[in-house]
Amino acid sequence: MTDLVQTLIDGLGRGSIYALLALGIALIFGVMHLLNFAHGETVTVGAYIAYASLVEMELSWWVTAILIFFGAIAISVVIEFVAFRWVRGAEDFTMLLTSFGVVFVVQAFFVMYAGATVRSFPRPEWADRVWQVGDLNVGVIDVVTIGATAISLAVTAYVLRRTMFGTSLRAAAEDFDAARLMGVRSNRVIRQAFIVAGALAGVAAVFYLMRTGQARPVVGLAPMLKGILAAIVGGLGSLSGAVLGGFVLGITEVVLRAWLPEYLVGLTDAVVFAFIGLFFVFRPQGLIPVEAGERV
């Protein structure tokens, strides 16, 4: 029982980051039908902001977290304006290729101006602390990540459900042209979707970077892939599905890490992908299909 609870806490901590990223990916997919592979670049930009802030300017993690958060929103909006606005209305495949293009451009930018080597920055000193609760070892970083994720999701749910802005966003996600006929401005609603997705990615980036303490040009690749997988596992386009997919992915990872034989632990991601492949054989529509679930 203790092992189960321990696994659940660790998995929720890891899954929180995936859930936040997946939610942003699902939101943008809903509005634009774009599977945004460039979403992970919010983490990459956040990593270099963290390096500059913590190492070069010697600012605190509190200030750094705020800078990462707003940096993620800014890069998300800039990517929409510079790259996606010009291919809006094109084939889905064109937009997909554009998102790959953005990934390569951002990575090349950092290789040119910051170098390809890993740049480490200090992690918060509390990030390694562990609380002993009975037989459980609860990582402070896990508790803080889960708490921040819960608050972020609650705020997002409130905004989407209770505000005119959120209602417009959900309407545009369900039927973009019908929303335009109601008076929803397409440029504005898409920009808003990228702001919300950037904000969610900003929160995810803060806690991801607190764990890794590293900046490199490809640092956003792994969380982006996990976020996209979580969104697909949840049922692409479904808000609740994306969040659920993130937590399921996180818990699956932690379970496999704990239970796989030692010589296979290095292949955890490969085994996770194999599980996901198997999952889609039996449930190709995802955990909460859009028809049944709440579309973004």
Partner 1 sequence: MLQINNLTTRYGAIAALRGVSLSVEAEEIVGLIGPNGAGKTTLLNSVAGLLRPAEGDIYLNGERVAGSSPDAMLRLGLALVPEHRRLFSQMSVAENLKIGGVSVGAKERAQLMDECVDLFPVLGRKWETRAGFLSGGEAQQLAVARALMSNPRIILMDEPSLGLAPMLVDLIFDLVDRLRREGKTLLVVEQNATRLLQVADRAYVLRTHEIVAQGRASDLLQRDDLFDVFVGRPRGEGDD
- Please give the residue ranges that form the binding site for partner 1 (CB under 8 A): 164, 167-168, 170-171, 174-175, 177-186, 294-295
φ, ψ (nearest 5 deg) of residue 134: 65, -125
Nearer to partner 1, 58 or 177 (CB): 177
Nearer to partner 1, 29 or 110 (CB): 29
Give the nearest distance from C-beta 237 to partner 1 in angstroms: 10
Give the nearest distance from C-beta 239 to partner 1 in angstroms: 10
Nearer to partner 1, 276 or 294 (CB): 294
Q: Which of 28, 144, 155, 11 is nearest to 92 (CA)?
A: 28
Nearer to partner 1, 186 or 285 (CB): 186
φ, ψ (nearest 5 deg) of residue 293: -90, -175
Q: Report CA-CA distances (Å) from 157 to 76, 110, 116, 152.
A: 20, 35, 39, 9
Nearer to partner 1, 3 or 291 (CB): 291
Rounded to 10°, the helix 2-32/140-162 angle is 40
Q: Quick check: 288 and 230 in contact, CB under 8 A? A: no
Give the nearest distance from C-beta 79 to partner 1 in angstroms: 23
Give the nearest distance from C-beta 30 to partner 1 in angstroms: 11
What is d(CA 147, CA 152) in angstroms, rounded to the nearest whole number?
A: 9
Nearer to partner 1, 198 or 237 (CB): 237
Burial category of 159 from C-beta neighbours within 10 Å (exposed 0-12, middle 13-18, buried 19 and up):
middle
Nearer to partner 1, 1 or 164 (CB): 164
Sequence-distant (≥ 6) Cβ neighbours of residue 170 within 8 angstroms: 160, 295, 296
Give the nearest distance from C-beta 160 to partner 1 in angstroms: 11
Give the nearest distance from C-beta 190 to partner 1 in angstroms: 13
Tell me the HSE value of 34 on the side-chain side, using a 13 A CA sphere. 30
Give the nearest distance from C-beta 186 to partner 1 in angstroms: 7
What is d(CA 213, CA 197) in angstroms, rounded to the nearest whole number?
A: 23
